[in-house]
Amino acid sequence: MSDQQREAAFSRRAVLGWGGAGLALGAAAAGGVAVAAGGGGDNGPSGGGSVPFHGPHQAGIATAVQDRLHFAAFDVKTDDRAELIRVLKDWTRAAERMTAGHAVGDGAYGGVPEAPPDDTGEALGLPPSRLTLTVGFGPSLFDHRFGLAKRRPSALVDLPKFPGDNLDPVRSNGDLCVQACADDPQVAVHAIRNLARIGFGKVAVRWSQLGFGKTSSTTPDAQTPRNLFGFKDGTRNVSGTDTAGLDRHVWAAQQPGAAWMAGGSYLVARRIRMNIETWDRTSLQEQEDVFGRDKQEGAAVTRAKEHDEPFLKAMKPDSHVRLAHPDSNHGATILRRGYSFTDGTDGLGRLEAGLFFLAYQRDPRTGFIPVQSGLARSDALNEYIQHVGSALFAVPPGVRDTDDWWGRALFT
């Protein structure tokens, strides 16, 4: 643990301890606790493992990819617009606290003994672990229920059916999503669990996915991580520090009818099951041909180094890198921050594993859709993978300050 992390961990405990003591003093101290809670957003531990929550864009997109993921999609169960707004406001306040390393509400202990505590407590004593929480709105949110139909951005399309898709409806779609990324899985799970709890009765978890072993990097000088097939992928991913690239490929522009999305992004989430066992029985040559890279270095065919520009025509026409490359897709570029997953084994003893693909882009019609159309038709990798879950979300711009909340521009 770095000194900064240690300091952050200490601050978390200090704030909690203070809140607990305040409660023990009785009703007179309640105001003091409220002040501590309000101040926790901006004045809590900063740096040292915490990613700033406020800003023009939501954290968790250009942020250097953390090690772990808990992603959850929610259905909105209420038809009451005010209740939905209440959830988004409550979520925002809780997210401010959790990303700064503080407990939710009045904390995990020290409250009324007869009642469950506000915070579930499993992140006590852990540093913020660079937790980011990123919210998105699915196409289904823009139906008749909340009067949002006219505000649905044209880029928030219904994804087409791609050849080979075998989508499970209970692992697809959703009115809302929250992406929790952190360097500690317990911190990410804690965040989703507490947001789900705050939302009960108004929103319900539709599906969720845990991820580990980031499969792409937004910091190109770091080593590109490998996926569960053992290959480096996403070498050419958009860098989190490449402002021009982000403006061009990731941040949404102001669109007619959807001004609220300016500075936001569009998130495609796909659960891609990998046929691990058959892949592992595949010859090295075939594996390298499928990707179009060598397994050791990650260099494209005929190239020496991973970051050497690939010579597409030297690759097999159905190789993954060739088909996914911007040059094969009229320049289409997306920011990937997917994770590997394994949910144990299926009933047949096969690893229930794969890639949980997460991609951010300015517009899926010029980003994911053309790229995936080509891949779904021709990619040699299709023999070893299957897309089993799918969702698309409009990710609104960032929360500016402690008066702002997720989605304010959409709802007001």
Partner 1 sequence: MSARPRPLLLGTAAIAVAVTLSGCTQKASGEDGAVSVTASDSACKVSTTEFPAGHVSLALENKGSRVTEVYVLFPDDRIAAERENLGPGTKATLVTELGPGDYEIACKPGMKGDGIRQKVKLTGRNAAAERSPEADAAVAAYRSYVLAQAEQTLPKAKAFAAAVEAGDVEKAKKLYAPSRIGWERTEPVAESFGDIDPKVDVREDGLEDGQDPETDWTGWHRLEKALWQDKKIGDREKELAGRLMTDLDAWVKKVGTAEITPTSMANGAKSLLDEVALNKVTGEEERYSHTDLVDFKANLEGARKSYDLLKPIARKNDSSLARELDKQFASLTKQLDVYRTDDGADQDSYTYRSYDKVSEAERKDLSDGVNALAEPLSKLAAAVAK
Q: Which chain residues interact with partner 1 by CB under 8 A? A: 75, 77, 111-112, 114-116, 170, 197, 200-202, 204
Side chain identity at residue 15, one-letter code: V
The distance of closest approach from Cβ of residue 29 to partner 1 in the complex, given in angstroms and rounded to an integer, is: 16
> Which H/E stretch holds residue 408?
helix 408-411
Placement of tokens 């852990």 in the chain: 126
> Which H/E stretch holds residue 7?
helix 3-24
The distance of closest approach from Cβ of residue 357 to partner 1 in the complex, given in angstroms and rounded to an integer, is: 25
Q: CB nearer to partner 1: give 118 or 184.
A: 118
Q: CB nearer to partner 1: give 76 or 261.
A: 76
The distance of closest approach from Cβ of residue 141 to partner 1 in the complex, given in angstroms and rounded to an integer, is: 17
Output the CA torsion 269→275→281→286 (10° steps). Answer: -40
- What separation, in Å, do the N-terminal and C-terminal C-alpha atoms of the chain show? 43
The distance of closest approach from Cβ of residue 313 to partner 1 in the complex, given in angstroms and rounded to an integer, is: 49
The distance of closest approach from Cβ of residue 90 to partner 1 in the complex, given in angstroms and rounded to an integer, is: 13
Q: CB nearer to partner 1: give 173 or 361.
A: 173
The distance of closest approach from Cβ of residue 202 to partner 1 in the complex, given in angstroms and rounded to an integer, is: 8
The distance of closest approach from Cβ of residue 39 to partner 1 in the complex, given in angstroms and rounded to an integer, is: 25
User: Cβ neighbours of residue 298 under 8 Å, at least 6 residues apart?
Assistant: 224, 231, 232, 235, 306
C-alpha separations of 316 from 196, 309, 396 in Å = 46, 16, 39
Q: CB nearer to partner 1: give 56 or 169.
A: 169
Q: Collapsing DSSP states into helix, strand and coil, what is residue 409?
A: helix
Compute the C-alpha angle 166/211/401, nearest 5°.
Answer: 110
Q: CB nearer to partner 1: give 113 or 256.
A: 113
Q: Are 56 and 212 in contact (CB under 8 A)?
A: no
Q: Are 194 and 120 in contact (CB under 8 A)?
A: yes
- Residues 61, 59: Cα–Cα separation, whole Å: 6
- Residues 231, 306: Cα–Cα separation, whole Å: 11
- Residues 60, 37: Cα–Cα separation, whole Å: 23
Q: CB nearer to partner 1: give 196 or 253.
A: 196
Q: CB nearer to partner 1: give 112 or 244.
A: 112
Q: How far is CA 259 from the centre of its chain?
A: 23
The distance of closest approach from Cβ of residue 23 to partner 1 in the complex, given in angstroms and rounded to an integer, is: 12
